[in-house]
Structures are given as structure tokens and as C-alpha cells.
Structure 1
Amino acid sequence: MPIDHFGNTSGTYPNRYWVNATYYEPGGPVFLFDSGEQNAEPLVPYYLQEYHGLSATMRLAKRYKGIAVLWEHRYYGDSQPFPVNENTTAAQWQFLTTEQALEDVVYFANRFAHPSAPPALLHPSRTPWIWLGGSYPGVRGALLRVRNPEVIYATWASSAPVHAQVDMASYYEAAERSLTRNCSADWAAVTRYVDETLGGGDESEVVEMKYRLLYAERSGPGGNTTGAQGLTMEQAANMSDVDAASILMDPLSFYQYYGFQASVLPFCNILETQNYTQAPVEGGLATTYGIEVAFDAFLAGLAETDYDSIPGNPDDPVQDRSWMWQYCSEYGFYQRGDPTNPLSIETAFRSLELFQQQCDAAFPEGLPVSPQVENINKYGGWEMNPSNVFWTNGEFDPWRTMGLASIEPNSPFRNSTVAVPACNTPAPAPSFFGLLHAGMVHVSDLRVLLTPDANHTEFRTVGFYSPVAQAPFYAGLGLFELALDEWLPCFGR
């Protein structure tokens, strides 16, 4: 793959992809599943081999006698033009842009060949290329339908935040909407209490609060305080305000993948029952008994749920650094706290200024002053309406807020329709063709887990997409198949 598709920089690098041609018959489509901002290799068994379940990519390949491709994005996994680490230079980062990565797909599609197909038959001028992707890969598929409709004929964009925006306070606002009202009220009240104390309390109050937060975070279920032994006031005093206040958000660490019921409800139950010693009250503890009671119960919830003890390590330093460059340079998505929102469950210490400082510290050279969101939104953002695109979202997905199904105050409030549009014809504006999965969160429909799998029994080893329910997969797959039945016969006209 050329490192630079548009300039005068020469050089190439190896870009990984995998192929499953089990069901292919000449004339069948190419189904490309994009792995996006991660190492693609762990996805191979789930999306190309249907390990312990089914994938939309392979179900479609079987039905339409197509060939399936799993694509790895530049600067992730082993598809690295340059080594990605703290020493990667601005001159090297400059080639990690949305436009370069989209052009990678165009370059690949125009040159792809496989022993199962006659020469040149798989070219997008002769065979429809169908894109599947969730989250950022869903964005890419939508942009390609606007940018290169002659290459990508149709797209399933799941949980795609196509509207780039620096301020994404809406991320945790979406999570708050899913909470029970008493848990939401207490979470917001405790957050304000901690923010106000750390920001305006005297030194002894600040240190004591930091100590209590750290002590709860290091403690474990059943009153186990082994992990907190040895904690000193000096250690607490040395902790920054933002790190201390961010402990309140520990129960939200896995919300994006599992949603309220699986990842946050256990915490809320402990909070609202004061560790199962009292019956919950409808208005919440802070309103009924006072903020100190609510704060004590919150600390008990942090200790008893103990997310930190869950085995496994989800962090990938290449993935984390490459995606940070992308959002710092183009996408924004700064998930800040909003002190003006009375329902905020995120500390206000996580400000826009803090996010920008973190970006500038990680990349001292090469970044624009602020993320260049216009590089993305020039394709339409919330207003985009490309043809042959199927959009799906989870009701409580934090990334829905930046997608076409957004209900944020500054969004256009578009509605989805399940009526399949005619081929190469957008859905009637302002509607869009798609589904909203009730109660679901992020990318809940591109595969389904049918057999228990060790990689899905622990939060930290689940990988990028979490199939928390079976219905979204079958609903999404069925409607997209109806759409392809309508669209594929039009290919080439």
C-alpha cells in the first residue's frame, strides 16, 4: 500500500487483510468487514470463521454466494507504515488521516484478486462491493458511499458517529438516560458534591475526600480492604483532582459495550440499597437522607463491584496511541463533563481544556490547534443522506449522539424508517433507512454469540463488539437482506 496517496512521498507498507471464499461463486459480491481502530487479527475467528456464533458478514456471503474480506486499517495491528510508539514523529503521523485511510480501500478494491475468481471479475466495476462496519468503521463505510459510490455499492453502518464534534459531553449524557431515576439522581448529586469539595474545600477536606475515594477503589467485595492497606494521606494528597473525581466513573468503564443492565445495574443496586441494608427510595438517597449518606453508599458501591479486579488487559498501546492521534487531529469527540447540566454524572474536571492539553502533551508537534472536524463533516455529518446505506443504532449507545439517530439539542432530530428505499435512491429526507435497537448500546448487531465463550465471560476480554442480545443481530441482518434483494439487481445500471 502506498504510504501517501496524494503527495510526493514515496514508499509502501504491507496492509493486512484476510479472505474467506468458502461460499463464493463467480458473480457473487465482495463483503468487506472493516476492523477500524484496532488490531484486526483477534476478529478473524468471530467475523470470518463464526467461532461460537454467527457473523453478518459470513451469513451474507453464504446467502449471496459472495467472498468475505476482513480489512485492517493503516497504523493498527501489523498494518503500520511506521512503528507506532511515543517516538513516532509528526512527519510519520501525518499519513494517518481519514482521507489516506479511505483511499487505501479504493486502492485495494481496484486491485483485489483471488484464486477463486476469474481475473478482474472482483473489480468494483464488475462486482458489487458491500461494506460492513460498526462505530468508526461504520463512519468509513458511510463516507465511502458519499466519496466513492463507484467503489462501495452498499453499506451497513452500525453505531456510526458520522458527525465529528470537538465537544462530546453527550457521551455520558446518553449513559445517564439509561439509569434508574434514583441512581441517576444520586450519581449526579455525588458528582457535584465531589467536584465542589475538591474545587473549593479546605485542604484537609480535599485530602480526606481523595483518601476515601482511593480507599474505596482499592477495596474489594465483602468488605475486603486488603488492596487498600498501606494507603496514606500523603498518597491521596498527591493525586490530582481530576484523577480523584474520575474514580466516580469507574462503574461506567464497560458501559459502552454492555449497557446499563449488565455493567451498571449491579453498582446502582448496591448504591440505592446502601449495600443491601435498606430498601431503595424512589427519589434517591441524597434527597431523602442527605449527601453524606449518598456519598457513603456510592463508596460502598465502588468497593463492592470492584471492576479493577476483573482479569485481563484490554489496552493495546498501538491502538490507543493511533486512535488518540485520529481524534486529536480530526474527530474531536472530547467526552467532557458539563457543569451546567444538573444531571451530569461525569466530573467537570474532565474539561475540553484538559482533553486538548492531553492531546498536545502526547503529540507536541504536528497537531492542529483544534481537531479539524470539517475534514469529516464535509461529507454531510448529521445531514448526510447517501443511497444504499443501512443505519443501525442502540437506543442508549453513547455514540448514537453523534450519529443520524441523535436526539441531542443541536442535532437535526432525524427519524429512521424501515421502508427499503429504491436502489441508488436516498430515503426521503429528513428520514434515513435504518433501525433503532431498544435498550441496546454500541454495535450490538454485527454478530451473535450462540455458545458460551471464555472471551465473553469477563468484561476486560470481550474485545471491541459485545453481542449482549440476540434479537438485534437477526433484526438487522433480516432488514439488510431485504435491502440487498432490492439493491443488488440494480448493480451496473
Structure 2
Amino acid sequence: MRVLASLSLVIFLQVLHINAGRHFWRITDHVHRLRLERQRSYVTKTKLWNEPLQFNRAPIAEFLKQPFDHFDRQCRKSFEQRFWVNTAFWKQPYGPVFLLIGGEASLSEYDVLSGEHVDLATKFGALVVAAEHRFYGESICAAGLEMSNLQYLSSQQALADLAVLHANLSHRFNLPRNHTWISFGGSYPGSLSAWFRLKFPHLVFAAVASSAPVRAQLDFQDYNKVVANSLSDPMIGGSKECLANVRSAFSTLGAALEKGMPFVKHVAKDFKTCTIPNSLRDKGQLVASLADIFMGAVQYNGELAGINVADLCSTMVNSTTSPYGALQDVANQYLERMELPCLDIDFVHFLKFLSNTTSVKMIGTGERQWYFQTCTEFGYYQTCNVSLGCPFSKLMSLDDSLVACSKVFGVETSEITFSVAFTNEFYGAAHPRGSRILFVNGDIDPWHALSILRNETISETAIYIRGTAHCANMLPPSDSDPRTLRLARQKIEAQVGAWLKKARLGVAV
């Protein structure tokens, strides 16, 4: 019996980030640890249970056998999908089912114990389910992540997994075919939530899609345009001076990297790199790794001490040295906070990291799997075009990301371009024309650039939250939440209530 075995794991909400550097993933892991602690604290301090949560009362991880390929019955391979069920709040037999969809990271028991969907379940008497995405966490086959298995990793297969789970739980709890299900998800799972409603409207009555990049894009330049806007936003501690100094620092860095080896060695010493950036791709890794610190601060603003817009801008503006020297201070603080001896900027190391199929990561983000999905479905490569507003460096190129797809997975640029176009055609991109889908985004979150920010139809609506970052509405509430976020949660609750009323009345729209 597995009882709260993952108290120290890096889990909960999903992540989205692909660029040449690996350091954003390190930042994400730290954010996940803090989110887990926040979840645990919220569960133990609130009255979600009749008594404080006991270890032997934790929801138990269950596993459902799923086919590798739902669309080819000749394929006999299968894997075990992990999921959790929490019946504590369910008003049987008519209470709705709230399904939290997993994505490119592992889930845990806490995904049916806390979060926005659980708070709503307590109000509306819902059965809570959390389903891990195929090939992430422990929902992975014994054969591992060889290409022979990865070929079955896609959003389409993941949606079919949800349909099978829906049938399994409907049978288990004796739910009628028209029983009301509402799906929830944030980031890539936010897209899956919207797409589950879009592609399986007979199974899921409505969907909440938070920070959902429903539009696939190969070269995602707008990501860093949003980062630039956020670094200059006084509401979250940014300023025009901060943005100007970040631009200046990266400009000085780029110029030094172009001058030749004596200057390159000096840069390596300045930023404590593990190796000398000898190749152009290593130099790209260096600038991307430094940019990761700012990009992570924006995407997860307010969640990680020291790595947020206000703190970084304070360093960049108040340093007694030059902007380049302030950037050194930012890098040193990052290494100290992450307990790293040096900054890994070796591109060959990065390729080896993505190529590893034997050390399957069961906890946190599945970097190899997610990079494969970007190569075969989404793109999402965050490049830097300085002339279009990016504050970093042109060395953060699309080519580095595409080379990784080719060398690690054998997926060439023409295939990626086709796959991104197919994804948009299959799901409708920014105009899916679905119904009963609520898109929730924060204006600080760079991923809002690929989501839906305005009402598409009378029942395909959007909430756009001023001053909040990635998936902020999905976290347990906090006294420090801005008023805009509290109001947004009230709107989400009202929308879910309205959907449930329509379901009870049998309203079709």
C-alpha cells in the first residue's frame, strides 16, 4: 500500500519550457518542491477531512492497463497508467466527477487532496480523479524510453487513455452515460483539458483550461517578448531601468563571446562555467542558461525566493557595478541558491542528457519525453529575436533546438514543421470552436501568448488575470494572493456552478 510516499517529491502542476539550456528545469524542480510543501500545508491546516489527514487515510495510487496504441488493435504492447481517486467530498450518486489531467511531469496523492479543482469539489460535492499522462512519472512501460516506445507518446494517445479511464471509472462507480464530468488542467494539461472536451464531448461536459498553449508554434518568439514586458512591469517589481540593464548586460556578454578565445575565457571565469564555451552551440547554451534565470523568474513569479522579478530587478538596478557585473551577481546568486559548483553550458552534455534511455526519471518532469513531444507535435522553442523585443541574445537560436530533435530523436526540421501544422489543424489552434470551455491565463505568464484570451463563443470563454503568472489560479489560495486572482477564482467557481446547473437541467448549450 502506497501512503504519502511522495512527500519529498517534485510534483503537482506541469511545466512547459524548451530552449537550449537545462537550467530552467532546475528552477522548475525547486518550484515544484515549494508547491508540494504548500499543498501539504494546505491539506493539514484546512478542514478538507473530518480530522487532520492521517497517513493511512491517503488516497492510494491505482494502475489501469492501457494499450500502447489505441488506434491499431494489432499492437499488443501495453503500460500501466497511474491514477488516484478521492471520494471524500462526493455526494453520491449524482455528484459530478472532477478530473485533473496530468502532463509532462509526475503526479501524486496531493493532486486529489488540494488545488483549485479540489476546493471546487468540496463546494459542489464532486468525486475527484487525477490521471497521470502516459510515459511520465510511474505511468511508464518496463521497457523504458527507447524510440520503439516513444513513438506511442502523443496528445492523441493521451486523450484516448482518458476515454478508457472514463469508461473504467463509470463502470466501477455505476455512473450513467450522461453523468457530469468536468476536466481541469494547467499548462500542457490545460490544452489536454480543452481538447478532451473538444474531441470527446459525449464524455466530458465542460473543461477548465489554465495557462493552456492550445496553439502550437515552431519558433515561439513571443515568449521572450512577454518576459521583456514583465521585467518592466512595476506591478510585480519590474521597471524600464531593469529591462534596459538586462538588455545591456546580455549585449555586452554577446559582444565578448564574439571577440575570440581570450575574451571567451574571461566570460567563462566571470560566470563560473563548468567548461570553456568552445563552440557556437556552447555559447548558445551559456546565454540560454543565464536567460533561463530571468525566464523562470517571470514564468513562476512570486513562487521561488530570490528568483522572481522583484528580486532580480533589484539586483540589476541597484548593483554598484555595470549591468554586466549585475548579471554576474544574478548568476552567482543562482548557483548558490541551487547549490551548483558551476554553470553547465556544454551542448554535447545536453544531447547526452536527452539521449539517456536507461535512467528513467520517475519523479518530476520527464525531460526526454517532453522534448520528444515538442519535436513531434508542438515546437514551442523559445528563441530570441532582439529586434522583436527579446532582451537576451540572438545566440538563443531555433537551430540548436532543431539539431537536438535530429540528433537525439531522428526527427528532421521538415517533419517538425509538418507536425506543428497538423497539431493546429487537428485541434483548431487559437480557434477550436468548442463549447463549455473556460480558458484562464495570467498576463505575466509568457505562455498566454499561445492561449485564448478573449471569448471565442458564448460558451467558449476566457478569464485574463492581471499580475499573475503560470497556473496561479490552480494553486491553493494564499493570503498573499492579489485581488485580481481572488476575483478570478470567484469567476471560475461561478462558471463551474453554472455548468453544473445546466447539466442538471439538461441544457444543451
**Do both proteins adopt the same fold according to a TM-score greater than 0.5, normalized to the shorter chain?**
yes
Counterpart position of 2:415: 369
Matched, 1:71 2:83: no
Shift of 1:358: 1.4
Matched, 1:10 2:76: yes
The 2-side partners of 1:64 and 1:192 are apart by: 53
Partners of 1:447 and 1:473 within 8 A in 2: no
Residue 190 of structure 2 aligns to which amino acid in structure 1? Answer: G
Partners of 1:396 and 1:440 within 8 A in 2: yes
Using a 3 Å threshold, how does the CA distance of structure 1 residues 362 and 154 change in structure 2: closer, same or farther? same
In structure 1, stretches of 5+ residues that fail to align are: 218-230, 278-292, 406-414, 418-425, 452-467
Cα deviation digits, residues 139-177 of structure 1 (max 9, x gap): 001112221111111011110000000011211221110
Shift of 1:269: 1.3
Using a 3 Å threshold, how does the CA distance of structure 1 residues 236 and 263 change in structure 2: closer, same or farther? same
The 2-side partners of 1:332 and 1:250 are apart by: 18
Shift of 1:82: 4.8
Partners of 1:267 and 1:302 within 8 A in 2: no
Counterpart position of 1:20: 86
The 1-side partners of 2:496 and 2:423 are apart by: 27
Aligned with residue 145 of structure 1, among 173, 197, 201: 197
Aligned with residue 478 of structure 1, among 490, 493, 498: 490
Residue 178 of structure 2 aligns to which amino acid in structure 1? Answer: R
Residue 6 of structure 1 aligns to which amino acid in structure 2? Answer: F
Matched, 1:440 2:468: yes
Residue 499 of structure 2 aligns to which amino acid in structure 1? Answer: W
Aligned with residue 317 of structure 2, among 263, 272, 279: 272
Counterpart position of 2:226: 174
Matched, 1:331 2:373: no
Counterpart position of 1:458: none
Matched, 1:396 2:444: yes
In structure 2, stretches of 5+ residues that fail to align are: 1-65, 232-238, 341-360
Matched, 1:48 2:115: no
Counterpart position of 1:319: 366
Residue 71 of structure 1 aligns to which amino acid in structure 2? Answer: A
Aligned with residue 257 of structure 2, among 186, 193, 198: 198
Shift of 1:30: 0.6
Q: Identity across aligned pairs (percent)?
A: 25
Aligned with residue 161 of structure 2, among 104, 108, 119: 104
Counterpart position of 1:244: 286
RMSD: 2.9
The 2-side partners of 1:262 and 1:440 are apart by: 15
Alignment of 1:112-123 (within 5 A): 112-113=169-170, 117=173, 119=174, 121=175, 123=176
Matched, 1:258 2:297: no
Residue 199 of structure 2 aligns to which amino acid in structure 1? Answer: R
Shift of 1:317: 7.8
The 1-side partners of 2:204 and 2:498 are apart by: 16
Match of 1:258, SS state, is coil
The 2-side partners of 1:10 and 1:441 are apart by: 43
Match of 2:103, SS state, is coil
The 2-side partners of 1:145 and 1:270 are apart by: 45
Shift of 1:311: 5.8
Shift of 1:254: 4.0
Counterpart position of 2:502: 490
Match of 2:301, SS state, is helix
Cα deviation digits, residues 98-145 of structure 1 (max 9, x gap): 111111111211221476x4x2x2x5x221110011011110011122
Matched, 1:135 2:135: no
Shift of 1:382: 1.1
Aligned with residue 243 of structure 2, among 165, 184, 198: 184
Using a 3 Å threshold, how does the CA distance of structure 1 residues 347 and 255 change in structure 2: closer, same or farther? same
Using a 3 Å threshold, how does the CA distance of structure 1 residues 213 and 307 change in structure 2: closer, same or farther? closer
Partners of 2:182 and 2:207 within 8 A in 1: yes
Match of 1:190, SS state, is helix
Using a 3 Å threshold, how does the CA distance of structure 1 residues 318 and 112 change in structure 2: closer, same or farther? same
Counterpart position of 1:422: none
The 2-side partners of 1:323 and 1:150 are apart by: 29
Residue 152 of structure 2 aligns to which amino acid in structure 1? Answer: F
The 1-side partners of 2:124 and 2:391 are apart by: 46
Aligned with residue 149 of structure 2, among 72, 92, 95: 92
Residue 321 of structure 1 aligns to which amino acid in structure 2? Answer: R
Match of 2:316, SS state, is helix
Using a 3 Å threshold, how does the CA distance of structure 1 residues 357 and 435 change in structure 2: closer, same or farther? same
TM-score (norm 2): 0.73
Cα deviation digits, residues 23-76 of structure 1 (max 9, x gap): 2120111100112111112xx22x3223xxxx2222222222221001101001
Matched, 1:348 2:406: no
The 2-side partners of 1:146 and 1:362 are apart by: 33
Using a 3 Å threshold, how does the CA distance of structure 1 residues 308 and 478 change in structure 2: closer, same or farther? same
Shift of 1:489: 3.4
Match of 1:162, SS state, is coil
Cα deviation digits, residues 219-252 of structure 1 (max 9, x gap): xxxxxxxxxxxx8xxx435472113323432532
Partners of 1:138 and 1:157 within 8 A in 2: yes
Shift of 1:365: 6.3
- Residue range with higher mean Cα deviation, 366-375 or 379-388: 366-375
The 1-side partners of 2:313 and 2:489 are apart by: 34
Shift of 1:192: 2.4
Partners of 1:56 and 1:446 within 8 A in 2: yes
